[in-house]
Amino acid sequence: MAETNGGSNTNTKNGNFICGVVEGFYGRPWTTEQRKDLFQKMKKWGMDSYLYAPKDDYKHRAYWRDLYTVEEAEHLTGLITAARESGITFYYALSPGLDITYSSVKEVTALKRKLEQVSQFGCAAFALLFDDIESEMSEADKEIFQSFAHAQVSVTNDIFQHLGQPKFLLCPTQYCATRAVPNVATSEYLNTLGSKLAQEIDIMWTGPKVISRLLTVESIEEITEVLRRRPVIWDNLHANDYDQKRVFLGPYSGRSPDLIPKLRGVLTNPNCEYGANFIAIHTLAQWSRCNVDGKRDLTLNDSVSADIKLETETEDGVVGEDVPSTISPNMYHPRHALKNAINDWLPEFNKKRAAWGVIAKPQPCVAPTVPIPIIPSVNTCMSLTTTTTSSVTTVAPVSVVNSNHLQALAEVCSNVTGNESFIQPPPGPIMNSLVSDTKVVSEPLLSVVNASSSNNSIMLNPGTEPMDCNTTPNNSPAHIAKVNATDDDVMVENTSTCSGTSASMQVEIDGTSPTINGSQMIVENDNDNHEVTQNTENDLPEVKDEDKQLTHEDLSLLCDLFYLPFEHGGQGIQVLQEFNWLKSNAHVAIKKNKTDDGSGTADFDEWQARATKMDDMCKAVNRLFQRLTYCDNRELLYDLYSYIWDMRGVIALLNSYVKWLGFSNGWKETFMSGDQEPWVFRGGLTADLQRLIPVDSGNDLFVYKAPEVPTSKIYTIRPYLPSDEDAVYAVCNRINGVSGTSAVADRLVGGYLTLSPEFCMVVEDEDGIVGYAVVALNATTFNQKMAVSWIPELQAKYPLDDAINDLPSSVQESIRYFHSFTPEISEQLCRQHPSQMMCSILSSVVDQSISKRLITCVLAALRANGKIFYNILGLFSENDYLFCNVSYFFFKVHLEYIQ
């Protein structure tokens, strides 16, 4: 398995098995440069096919009738040529199903015309994709075709013959078992495809579900019998366009190599972020070269496993599944494949690459004035079923396309705007990946449509499964409704929606940044991290400090934290298990803190040891995060940064809470009830970790925005210590613009630090404390103690005399407050909202999530002390003070910023 060169891949060499990549997701397409890089990697790894099907590349789907311009033709021709030079079959796909009328001669002619143009670019393999569309035919089609399947078969066979029977793929509307009506075996649609579609055309299939955890031999045999041909698997295992907070870096898994002889091929539809797909594609390539299932045969086949040594513990001491340390070249084991892939991935981080833009994933479409909700299931269907590749020997030889060839195409390309007979989609932002090598251009398309309205508007089915909310993608601009027309003239009303995609990380671009075709390159000004340079393939990587160099162990941790849709990696599971154990056994630490009688020492030692282990894991994540920000490959950094930033913040929050548990003596067992309300969490391990935080509700606390430019800055939230008093006072004075006196700090924070220190938290970076949260568990009791123990001292410290008239107004106000002390909160409000908190953070803390994480940690501490009934309805404000509407709690959130 250590062999990564594709020369030994006999499965793809003999032409019987297609293996490659389908760019079929929703969101920003890959760039021309990234696709060419992909072709080179696929050649190296022995893969043979690439399917061009980016859902939001506008001339692929929404504007499928439009011909390519000369500029677009040059880029597409360059891609096709680059693929051929790397030995990769380039499949060009169109998705006309949103609004095509199958019985219209003009529609079919437009489809032929578009594919003919692409064939002149040198393309010799094609695909038609009918996924994620309504299965109801138009009235015109019902008069001609017996069924929806007959309509698709008719058009597909016609196109196939018209193009000279090239390699051809079809993605059906029923592309997985859960979509088959009523089931796979008796589906009239699938059986019609199997019996009527030309045998040379290969059919795509995603497996039992849109995202299939397992593909079994039995399920493949069933669909093979129905389709009368081996399927090409469109594999969504690593697709992440349905969840804003998930990226998948685990190995190809859940598919035994036993499947290979029973399949026509496998194309992986991976993460939206190109740089995040190294593991997914590399491990698929390894899988395609094997014929022995390592996970099964290591336990069932003694003759295979006799000489194989097993590792049941990773380098980090994580106990997990048996992983072979040595393995035969024809045996596939996911963890072993992952190890090989990481070895080859590590050098990619040292290649100099500039970042050219943020990654845009699909997002629910809303009016600009309406806050975008965190609803991972809306508009999240990855290109769930698009086609791949298949070999057909009847394809005519394709001549190499050169610049003269392109000139000869100028005439046909110049007619791109001459489709007057078709209603064009309305104005709306579009994405075009074929006008620049390094950039995907997104700009409004200026076309005006005056089409009559229709009552046949397509609505999202509220019952769709979470992984596929775009069954009838009404967020694409050209598929909302159909109206009756003549056979040769189909009028289509198109409604533009979802034009504004939400980036996984927003980057504010300076107006002076260099541009390509009107699009700006991201220029980072964080000199502490990295200085962006242009791509120079031959440049040697800069020598970095050892502490700034990513290691194999770092990437192994990264992959474990973002593993697979149905499975966390070993180190991710360990974080979950350790924190859950520490939280469940916190009474051991609290009891030890309350008593010094020596009882329970062994249990306390175990708790402390595991708390130290939790702290070590947090430090490992911090180390990974910082080293990633120093890497030369800024494009790869921007692909991954928002994910690891979010994960690091959550793990740091858990670690802060563990430190508070070990420090505090106010814990109560009531917080272990586990009666948690269902939150709207982000997906993956991040969500599972958040669920462990003992805060019952408050969705806003988990809505973060990553820094606009990657930074290696680490902020730590920890319990307040007596030695922190001077630093907290300094922060308070700085925020309030006071110097030379501590009167203001004595008023705002002194009482909390003196009378309620066990609930106070601080935020620090490498230079010291930059923020704090001070809390009183019971405001009424706290105010009583203030009146008896704290205010008299301050009255003596700050006499009320004429001398104060020369002091700043805030100092005067504080001194007068001491001498006329009255609780700021009424008794009635204290009864309804017994706890009181003040949070202050310096403006130098640009990470907007820190204040929310700080408050979350405080809320967890409060809940651990019996305050289990509350409902946070609102948090945070740009105002100096914000009184939050909190049931059973009162918070005085003082978000102060120096100017």
Question: CA 347, 353, 358 angle in degrees (round to 5)?
Answer: 115
Helical ranges in 180-293 per DSSP H:
188-196, 217-227, 278-288
By annotation, the residues acting in catalysis are 132
**855, 847, 848, 844: which is closest to 893 by C-alpha?**
855
Tokens read off for 262? 């029973």
Tokens read off for 415? 């007619």
CA-CA distance, 742 to 740, in Å (whole number)? 7
Torsion from C-alpha of 707, 711, 712, 716, nearest 10 degrees: -30
CA-CA distance, 166 to 123, in Å (whole number)? 10
DSSP assignment of 540-608 equals PPPP--GGGS--HHHHHHHHHHS-BTTB--HHHHHHHHHHHHHHHTHHHHHHHHH--S-TTHHHHHHHH
CA-CA distance, 148 to 167, in Å (whole number)? 24
CA-CA distance, 678 to 691, in Å (whole number)? 9
Distances (CA, A) of 41 to 35, 44, 437, 529: 10, 5, 18, 29
CA-CA distance, 439 to 519, in Å (whole number)? 7
Helical ranges in 749-825 per DSSP H:
751-755, 779-785, 791-797, 809-819
Distances (CA, A) of 260 to 252, 288, 553: 14, 7, 32
483: three-class secondary structure by DSSP = coil
- Tell me 306's DSSP state: T
331: three-class secondary structure by DSSP = strand
**241, 281, 271, 344: which is closest to 639 by C-alpha?**
271
Cβ atoms within 10 A of the Cβ of 520, count? 17
DSSP assignment of 655-704 equals HHHHHHHHH-S---GGGGG--PPPP---SHHHHHHHHHSS----GGGG--
Strand partners for 766: none
CA-CA distance, 402 to 122, in Å (whole number)? 10
Distances (CA, A) of 339 to 8, 43, 661, 690: 20, 21, 37, 28
Distances (CA, A) of 338 to 44, 252, 332, 550, 625: 17, 8, 11, 17, 20
CB 770 within 8 A of CB 841: yes
762: three-class secondary structure by DSSP = strand
**172, 242, 231: which is closest to 25 by C-alpha?**
242
What are phi and psi for residue 20, nearest 5 degrees?
180, -145
CB 264 within 8 A of CB 229: yes
Question: CA 445, 449, 452 angle in degrees (round to 5)?
Answer: 150
**Cα torsion 556, 557, 560, 562: sign:** negative
Residue 341 identity (one-letter amino acid): A
Token pair 């160099």 in the structure block, residue: 549
